[in-house]
Amino acid sequence: ECQLMRTERPRPNTFVIRCLQWTTVIERTFHVDSPEEREEWIRAIQTVANSLKAQELPPDPMEFQGESPGSDDPDAPTGKSRPKATMNDFDYLKLLGKGTFGKVILVREKASGRYYAMKILRKDVVIAKDEVAHTVTESRVLQNTRHPFLTALKYAFQTHDRLCFVMEYANGGELFFHLSRERVFSEDRARFYGAEIVSALEYLHSRDVVYRDIKLENLMLDKDGHIKITDFGLCKEGVTDGATMRTFCGTPEYLAPEVLEDNDYGRAVDWWGLGVVMYEMLCGRLPFYNQDHERLFELILGQELRFPRALGPEARALLGGLLRKDPKLR
């Protein structure tokens, strides 16, 4: 499953191919010389995607609904207070995404009629792809956090060959698509979203969790237009104030300078990620961008931050503070 989207960011005649791999959104951006050429490329890619989709076998409904809740469905590995669930407790309505590790399905709980997003991961693939640590981390963070701007976990359970996470369904769409449609947000709107992201990050930090992957693609909106942060696979637990990490991870355009320099880094990487997201919302483009990652990293490390002329002084001060290259001053 892939999505094709036209955009004029970061330059005219751009189009984006986006797909879901496990919990991670994979995105590739392309630029062409004219709107006509862009349409030609999009039609060609869509034709290939439709052809591949047509070759897939139809989904077997028993894949989700035919599994016994008996010996294959042990107690949910969530806290004592979290209710238990089985595959048979849900109606399976729509495929929301599909990746290497499994699928995300829109489901309806039979007892309550409420809608959720169920992530179903194949255990053998998670093990083969060496993603056990990320899966365990995401499960633990989801189970141990409660905050209005973090995606909430309702149930977690397993069968003999699958892991299932039933999470709240944020049906307001991705912030990425709203921004792509409108190009920039007003300062009031950006301030609103930014405040909610800050609230969520401060909550995670208070629980010694560093998120490490703030980006537009991981920010959803709920039905009332509030932020919901998703995808906790890159979180690092046990990071107390002043503690540091060394793992090189994240999305290239959002990597903080200290990560690129292979230095120890701490909670300040989340504030850099917030700065990049806020810059995109207020300026309509990334603060540092190049298709060549080596050149991109040089820009992140050395280029001075620039602002559109129309940007107000308070917004400039905020972005300048968040995007300080020295994490001690950020």
Cβ–Cβ < 8 Å for 143, 82: yes
The torsion defined by the Cα of 167, 171, 174 and 180, in degrees rounded to 10, comes to 170
Delimit the domains of the chain by residue range: 2-47, 82-168, 175-329
pTM, rounded to two decimals: 0.74
pLDDT attached to residue 9? 67
- What's the rounded mean pLDDT across residues 159-177? 92
Q: What DSSP character marks residue 150?
A: B
- Rounded to the nearest 5°, which phi and psi values hold at 56? -70, 145
Active site residue 213: yes
Q: Which amino acid is it at 189?
A: R
Q: Assess whether pLDDT exceeds 50 at residue 69.
A: no
State the pLDDT at residue 55.
Answer: 59
Beta partners for 27? Answer: 18
Q: What is the pLDDT of residue 65?
A: 42
Q: What is the mean pLDDT of the chain?
A: 85
Coil, strand, or helix at residue 289? coil
pLDDT of residue 134: 84
Backbone angles phi, psi at 103, to 5 degrees: -135, 160
pLDDT reading at 129 higher than 70: yes
Overall CATH class of domain 175-329? mainly alpha
**Using one digit for the tens of pLDDT, what is the confidence trace for 262-284?**
778 999 999 999 999 999 999 99
**Measured in whole angstroms, how far is the alpha carbon of residue 111 from the centre of its chain?**
30
pLDDT (tens digit, 9 = 90+) per residue, 226-256? Answer: 999 998 888 999 888 888 887 777 888 999 9
| CATH class belonging to 2-47 | mainly beta
Q: Which of 33, 75, 89, 213 is catalytic?
A: 213
Residue 129 annotated as part of some ligand binding site:
yes
C-alpha 223/C-alpha 201 separation (Å) is: 21
Sign of torsion over alpha carbons 216, 220, 226, 229: negative
> What tens digit of pLDDT does each residue of 77-116 get?
444 455 689 999 999 999 987 777 788 899 999 999 999 9
CATH topology of domain 82-168: Phosphorylase Kinase; domain 1 (3.30.200)
Which alpha helices (DSSP H) does the chain contain, by range? 35-55, 62-65, 123-128, 132-144, 175-182, 187-206, 257-260, 268-283, 293-302, 313-322
Rg of the Cα trace of the chain? 21
Q: What's the pLDDT score for residue 73?
A: 39
Residue pLDDT, tens place only, 200-220: 999 999 999 999 999 998 999
Q: Identify the pLDDT of residue 82.
A: 55
